[in-house]
Chain A
Amino acid sequence: MTPLAQRLHAVLSTYATRSRLVLGMIFVLLATIFLLINIPTSGVAEMILFPYLFYCLLWMSAWSNGISDQGRWQFAPARAAILPGYRAPHRMVLMGIYLIPVALVLVTSCMRGQSLPGAHTAVIAFLMTLTIAASTIPSGLILGTFFGYVAFSDYIGIDKIPQLLLDHPHEANVGGILVAIGCALIARRRIRTLSRLTEDDPEYVAPTWSEPGQAARTQQRGALQRTGETSTGPAACRQTIAAFDRWLNRARRWNRSRRILLPTIGEFAVLDAKTLALLMVVGLFLGPLGSFARSHDEPPPGIFPTLLEGVRGLAWFAALIAPPVTAIVAGNGLASRLKTMATERLLPLTRRTYVDSQLVAFAACAVGVWALLNAIAIGVGAFGPPEHGDSVFAASLVTYLGLSFACVIFNFGITAVLTVTSAEFAAIFLITGACGTADLVLLLLWLQGVPDFGWIPACIGALLAGGAGVLFIQHARVLWRERELG
């Protein structure tokens, strides 16, 4: 066996080549430091910080997902089992990546002379463990929990916890350290499991999806059949698939321009159906819980009002956050279909028809999500009762909708343009992330400060964003039409 230092160096350099991971690391460090600084409790600063932290956390989750993915990438292929001394340095590096933010929080917290370094460490260790184990948990569940947490953080009484901990600093620190150690042990176990992946594990499928070639496909297929993903599943899933099949079976009778939209919508529909189903489940659980927690000093007002309160919170949050994010995902849609595109572009259609219909399909998805979520939110009265009088409320709602729609168009357009070139993932994520944050800030500012700002700036903002979005989409049409597929 070669010396451990030499192998360790080799492993580190592998991880360093993934710019996504390196950049993610920077974001994670920034986010952890921000989490330690006392967040201002009111005013515009909070409005700006909140979306920023949201994107930091998204980054963090993407990053640790990346680590998990990279880990599987390293351990799944046959060479992991064959190369001498392969696993040990890989495990060490993964554990190192896990421990860095934890250690950083501990050190920062101590240095700032805070009284609860143990509790802080516990929080970050818990977050890191959650994200490193993320790939074993359905992403919808994580996202749902996260949405739920943000939506109900006010209600669950989290603000009571710090005071509780501050009253008992010694216990809190000891307990925190114990929790952190427990989390680290779970993470270690997770990493060990990763390092011993065999073809029998359903997880083995994941990294090979992106690996072209026959052998990968064969393994993938084996795993797919083992997990029975194609034939079994919950009854609801099977019924959805059956309904989808019936829909597909009729598709031949559609006209040509509608047909080309089919695979695009289909792909999106399958993905969204899963996530939405999970979100609904999470919402059903968290909704009543949140309302219950909120009314801890009063008797619960009954099941229906409690449920409605929870649904309102969720709908408000979903309508605010989901459309801009969906627009970014949809804007990336064409790029995600590069492989099928090579085949589809040889269907008897002109290039223009093809590209336009694809863009229309993805834009329809983005706009559809926007319309649906906002309709739900308005339907359940999530935007609040007309406090400023009916006419003022209606006008401000329309302005909000316009602003929100403009953000969707803008995000979709800029992503569609950026992804034409197979440029660095990180750069695209950065720009779209910045746009998303800006959208959220804009929308939150508007929602909170209607009477102060007036209509004019909002209308100008909506026009500018929407106009730029349309220009971007126009440009994307040309770029995608001329794009090579090799």
Chain B
Amino acid sequence: MPTPVYIAAGLKKSFSGNPFAQNYVLRGIDLTVQQGAVVGLLGQNGSGKSTLLKCSLGLLRPSAGQVTVLDEDGWDLSAEAKSRIGYVPQEVVSYPWMLARQVIEYTAAFYPRWNQPLVDELCRRWRLPLEERVAALSTGQLQTLGIVLALGHEPELLILDEPVASLDPVARRQFLRTLLEIVADRRRTVIFSTHITSDLERVATRVAMLRDGVIGLDGEMDELKDRVKRLHLAAAAPLPKDLAVPGALAVEIDGAEASITLANFDSSIVDQLRVAWNADVTVQDLNLEEMFIAVHEHCGGAAPSVANANNVKSAESDDSRNVPEIDCP
């Protein structure tokens, strides 16, 4: 039975000092990550990804709720817990006056377990100029240095805040390969934020989408792809504007045609729609990017009405698998 290495419970964060004008960046995050999981945190810019990760590591203090990391309070991590965590911030900051090699040696000196052969190998693979001053490194090289520093002590929990944002496609793929090697050891857990969905699709076993300070969509990657589908309807007659389908993430109607994104696809719904509207129905698989857009566009618009609900049978009724949480403000 895997144990949770990371638990966020009712986590809220506001940057306003005024208790009467709280502007929450995080509005109640509940997230439990089991050992061995690779969790991709998706969200638009400003959705609170970095804030969530910083709250998890004791860089920010939660306004409410709690984060438990490796069985310790995230705000007050012990030295021992910190030696088991690796973190790559969005913007890697280091000492401009040191050589890259000196920064590595300096950091290594703090960790009781430091895998220097691994670090040497990574530096070689990523062509990190070790005898160069940090000030003269390019953004990509600096990011690489940050990643090397976070991997050197072989952390059990690796937290990456948009680790590949400033890497070129080749370097990004190399990083992904390294990440895959790391997670081949099933005791390792990785939480990383990104908005490059194609990277997530390769490595992540689980996806959590952050929207407006809450987890909007959360589930195993494969499960999400299995169940979030888009139906394209081509009916004989114009469809009503307020056509509603239970569990729909997004409904777009254009005359006799419609596309409906379902959070919880079931083949029976296709038959029902086909019969009800005398329509051609095709099912489209959605990749992560399309899901991401669907989640955001649905929540941005008006809530779907419940009219015409009697035309279609409830989609969840005969589904025993657990339903992905859809939480829209």
Residues of A within 8 A of B (CB): 212, 214, 217-218, 221, 224-225, 230, 245, 248-249, 251-252, 254, 256, 259-260, 262-263, 266-267, 270, 339-340, 342-343, 345-351, 353, 482, 484-486
Residues of B within 8 A of A345 (CB): 58-59
CB distance from A268 to the nearest CB of B (A): 11
Q: Is B12 an interface residue (CB 8 A)?
A: no
B112 lies within 8 A of A348 (CB): yes
Q: Tell whether B122 is near chain A: CB-to-CB under 8 Å.
A: no
Knowing A214-B166, A221-B136, A343-B93, the reply to whether A248 touches B60 (Cβ < 8 A) is no
**Cβ 8 A contact of B135, one of A212, A214, A224:** A224
Q: B109 and A266: CB pair below 8 A?
A: no
- Of the candidates B61, B108, B112, B138, which one forms a contact with A252 in the assembled complex, judged by CB atoms under 8 Å apart? B108
User: Cα distance A35–B292 when bound, in Å?
Assistant: 66
Let me know if B250 is at the binding interface, CB within 8 A. Answer: no
What string of 1s and 0s marks CB contacts (under 8 Å) between B90-107 and chain A? 011111011100100111
Mask of B56-98 contacts with A, CB within 8 angstroms, 1/0: 0111110000000000000010111011010101011111011
- Does the CB pair A218–B107 fall under 8 Å? no
Task: Give the residue of A225, A256, A340 whose beta carbon is less than 8 angstroms from that of B95.
Answer: A340
* A230-B135 in contact given A339-B93, A342-B89, A343-B94 (Cβ < 8 Å): yes
Interface residues of B in 29-46 (CB under 8 A from A): none
* CB-CB nearest in chain A for B110: A347
Q: Answer whether residue B54 sits at the interface, using C-beta atoms and an 8 A cutoff.
A: yes
Which label, helix, strand, loop or mixed, suits the secondary structure of the B interface?
Answer: loop
Determine the chain A residues whose CB is within 8 A of the CB of B50 once the complex forms. 486
CB pair A346 B106 closer than 8 Å: no
Enumerate chain B residues within 8 angstroms of A218, measured Cβ to Cβ. 138-139
Q: Does the CB pair B87–A350 fall under 8 Å?
A: no
Instruction: Decide yes or no whether B194 CB sits under 8 A from chain A.
Output: no
Offer 18 A-B interface pairs, CB within 8 angstroms, sorted by A: A218-B139, A224-B136, A252-B105, A252-B109, A254-B109, A267-B95, A339-B93, A343-B89, A343-B92, A346-B57, A347-B82, A348-B80, A348-B82, A348-B83, A348-B110, A351-B76, A484-B59, A485-B60
Known: A218-B139, A340-B95. A230 touches B82 (CB 8 A): no
Q: A348 contacts B111, CB within 8 Å?
A: yes
Set of chain B residues within 8 Å of A350, measured between Cβ atoms: 78-79
Dominant SS among interface residues on chain A = helix
A266 and B95 contact, CB distance less than 8 A: yes
Q: Which residues of A contact B188 (CB under 8 A)?
A: none
B59 touches A217 (CB 8 A): no
Nearest CB of chain A from residue B246's CB, rounded to whole Å: 40
CA separation between A218 and B139, bound complex, in Å? Answer: 7
> Which of A212, A224, A343 is packed against the most chain B CB atoms within 10 Å?
A343
Are A256 and B110 closer than 8 Å at their CB atoms? Answer: yes
Complex formed: what's the CA distance from A353 to B57 in Å?
17
Do the beta carbons of B85 and A248 come within 8 Å of each other?
no
Question: Does B54 contact A251, Cβ atoms closer than 8 Å?
Answer: no
Determine the chain A residues whose CB is within 8 A of the CB of B189 once the complex forms.
none
Q: Which residues of A contact B98 (CB under 8 A)?
A: 248, 263, 266
- Assembled-state Cα–Cα distance A184/B274 (Å): 83
Q: Which residues of A contact B91 (CB under 8 A)?
A: 212
Q: Is the CB of B139 within 8 A of A214?
A: yes
Q: Which residue of A lies closest to B55 (CB)?
A: A486
Interface centre among B78, B79, B92 (most CB of A within 10 A): B79
B264 at the interface (CB under 8 A from A): no
Asked whether, in the complex, the Cβ of B93 is within 8 Å of the Cβ of A340, the reply is yes
Residues in A whose Cβ lies below 8 Å from that of B166 = 214
Contact check, A245 vs B102: say whether CB atoms are below 8 A apart.
yes
Judging by beta carbons under 8 Å apart, are A349 and B95 in contact? Answer: no
Task: Give complex CA distance A132, B153 in Å.
Answer: 50
Cβ of B54: which chain A residues have Cβ within 8 Å of it?
A: 342, 485-486
Asked whether, in the complex, the Cβ of A263 is within 8 Å of the Cβ of B95, the reply is yes
Kindly list the 3 A-B residue pairs having the minimum CB-CB distance in the complex, ordered from nearest: A348-B83, A348-B82, A348-B79
User: Closest CB of chain B to A36's CB: distance in Å?
Assistant: 44
Please indicate the chain A residues that have their CB under 8 angstroms from the CB of B99 in the complex: 245, 248
Check: B227 CB closer than 8 A to any chain A CB. Answer: no
Tell me, in angstroms, the Cα distance from A262 to B105 when the chains sit together.
12
Q: Which residues of A contact B133 (CB under 8 A)?
A: 230
Residues in B with CB closer than 8 Å to A353 are: 79
Shortest Cβ distance from A363 into chain B, in angstroms?
Answer: 20
Instruction: Provide the bound-state CA to CA distance between A249 and B58, in Å.
Output: 31
A349 touches B82 (CB 8 A): yes
Closest-CB distance, B164 to chain A (whole angstroms):
13
Closest-CB distance, B327 to chain A (whole angstroms): 25
Given A245-B102, A248-B98, A485-B60, check contact A349 B110 (CB 8 Å): yes
* Chain B residues near A486 (CB-CB < 8 A): 15, 50-51, 54, 59-60
* Contact pick for A342, options B59, B82, B138, CB 8 Å: B59
Closest to B51 in A: A486
How far apart are B131's CB and chain A's nearest CB, in angstroms?
Answer: 10
Cα distance, A331 to B139, chains bound together (Å): 31
Bound complex: CA of A339 vs CA of B92, how far in Å?
9
Taking the nearest CB of chain A, how far is it from the CB of B72, in angstroms? 12
Extra 11 A-B pairs, beta carbons < 8 Å, given A249-B105, A251-B105, A351-B58: A214-B139, A214-B166, A217-B139, A218-B139, A221-B137, A245-B99, A248-B106, A251-B109, A259-B110, A342-B89, A348-B110
List chain A residues, Cβ under 8 A from B51: 486
- Whether A349 contacts B79 in the complex (CB less than 8 A), given A230-B133, A230-B136, A343-B94, comes out as yes
Complex Cα–Cα for A262 and B80 (A): 22
Can you name the residue of chain A whose Cβ is closest to the Cβ of B59?
A: A485
A350 and B72 alpha carbons, distance in the complex (Å): 13
Q: A348-B80, A349-B79 are known contacts. Are A342 and B136 too (CB-CB below 8 A)? A: no
Closest to A260 in B: B110
- Nearest CB on A from B121, distance (A): 20
Binary contact readout B139-182 vs A (1 if CB under 8 angstroms, 0 otherwise): 10010000000000000000000000010000000000000000
